[in-house]
Structure 1
Amino acid sequence: MRQIPLALLAPPAHSFDNFLPGANAEALAYLMGLMPGDPPVLLWGPTGSGKTHLLQGLAERWQSAGQRVAWYDADTPLPWELPAHESLLLLDDCQRFDAGQQHAAFGLFVASAGQGYNVVATADAPAVDLPLREDLRTRLGWGPSFALSPLSEPEMRAALRRDADRRGLLLGDDVLGYLLTRFERNLKGLMALLERLDEFALATKRAITLPLLKAMLADETGEGREKKMDSDPNL
């Protein structure tokens, strides 16, 4: 019979302090210096490059300073209303916006123009390549644009070790190597996998080892989380 582990350790809030910039230091520095009324900013790059983390870090920074923050993404129900006072408007994953949301996002740009609002948006491609209505693409591409890159393998290792240390876990090089070679190098996904591994270790009362990781993956058969690779006789 397995124990059910208690959720004693809440995940850290996404902030600038726990963002590993890697090749994205320029974007981080710009956002840290963002001032009310500055032009709109677009952060673009592939999944795992830290776009949403930076938005959440920016929101945390502005809210800590007493500023209002409004968040809009593809899961935010319409209508999208402009806050009554100057605010930070965050548009996440713009490439996912449907026709109604694109219309609403453009409306936010129009209504906030010259009123002291800031708009910071994210997408998976530069504005010119986004499958959006032309007037919205133009607004997204008007201000500074930063191409974000995923962390390198050494940086990814450092991030996973830091999260393991936060959890009080001893993460061997063999476990780290397996995670980075068998799974997509998406930091958010790897962090979630590490969290599941921590829970599995607590439930089974075993130390985190490569055999334990493989046992957990076998226990999760059918979830399709492991990358397809050449057959491994040790699996």
Structure 2
Amino acid sequence: MTQQLLLDLLPGALPTLDGFVAGANQAALDAVRALAPGRALYLWGGIGSGRSHLLRACVQANGGHYLDARTPAHWLQGMATDEDQALSLVAVDDVNDLNDAAQAALFALFNRWRATASTPDAFALLTAGDRAPLTMPLREDLRTRLGWDLVFRVEQLSDEERVQALRDRARQRGLVLPDDVLDWILIHHARDMEGLSSLIDRLDQYSLARHRPVTLPLLKALLSDQH
């Protein structure tokens, strides 16, 4: 079996709520865990804050639908208008990047959420963007709807929290990360935890494929092979 085939076959870890390093975001994590039909939650924070991890992990844990700005608007519109389609949880990410058609669809979905909130057809609505609701570059009526229920800011992790999260991720995969590898990753790699966690997963796979321990030269070889 070739090295690349082995890497392709090894699965990447799916985002989980247990795998989210909360740091200062414990209240936001608790709100996601407690999200129930009839409630809505909007998370906002910069790139790498972990808001997308929380949306994907919530859908992974509870079922439902995950959509983002790349999803065709008619999918979202169908959820908003097709009353025969039962909904339990809808997560819409990167709302700041929605085009006009997708904004109109999300507006309609909020209206369906509110109309069904106290009925047996109630569903949970989880949305996320890069800034607070009233400063979003969206149509006015949609901006106000983002703040209809719960709103939490998702803060970036400190370097110490990132280091601990990476060590925990590696430990779950049976890896021990040398200090020079951790230092290099924090200095030279993207700082969002989803990207950092993915790098640890790929480094583990690369180590297995090469039959070599994790070292700084191995990490650099992995990154070189991917370019």
TM-score range, shorter chain: 0.7 to 0.9
Please give the secondary structure, in 2, of the residue aligned with 1:81: helix
Moved more, 77-86 or 144-153: 77-86
Is residue 77 of structure 1 aligned with residue 77 of structure 2?
A: no
Q: How far did residue 119 of structure 1 move?
A: 1.5
Alpha-carbon spacing, 1:44–1:160, altered in 2? closer, same or farther (3 Å): same
Aligned partner of 1:159 in structure 2 is 165
The amino acid that maps onto 2:178 is G
Distance 1:112 1:42 in 2: 14
Per the alignment, residue 102 of structure 1 pairs with: 103
Pairs within 5 Å for 1:1-235: 3-4=3-4, 5=6, 10-38=11-39, 40-63=40-63, 69-79=64-74, 80-82=77-79, 84-116=85-117, 117-220=123-226, 223=227
Matched-pair contact (CA < 8 Å) for 1:81–1:108: no
Q: TM-score, normalised by structure 1?
A: 0.81
Between 204-213 and 149-158, report the one with greater CA deviation. 204-213
Q: Does the 8 Å CA contact 1:44/1:126 hold for their aligned counterparts?
A: yes
Q: CA deviation at 1:184?
A: 2.6
- TM-superposed CA distance for 1:25, in Å, is 0.3
**1:70 to partner: Cα distance:** 2.8
What is the SS of the residue equivalent to 2:180?
Answer: helix
Amino acid at match of 2:42: L
Q: State the AA in 2 paired with 1:36.
A: P
Query: Among the aligned pairs, what percent are the same residue?
Result: 40
**Ranges in structure 2 where 5+ consecutive residues have no aligned partner:** 118-122
Moved >6 Å (runs of 4+): none
CA deviation string 1:148-187 (max 9, x = no partner): 0122212211221122122222210110011011223111
Q: CA deviation at 1:197?
A: 2.5
**What CA deviation, in whole Å up to 9, does each residue of 1:189-231 have, x standing for no partner?**
22222233333333433221112223333444xx4xxxxxxxx
Count matched residues.
215
Q: CA deviation at 1:44?
A: 0.3
- Cα distance change, pair 215–56 in 1 and its aligned pair in 2 (3 A): closer
Residue equivalent to 2:120: none
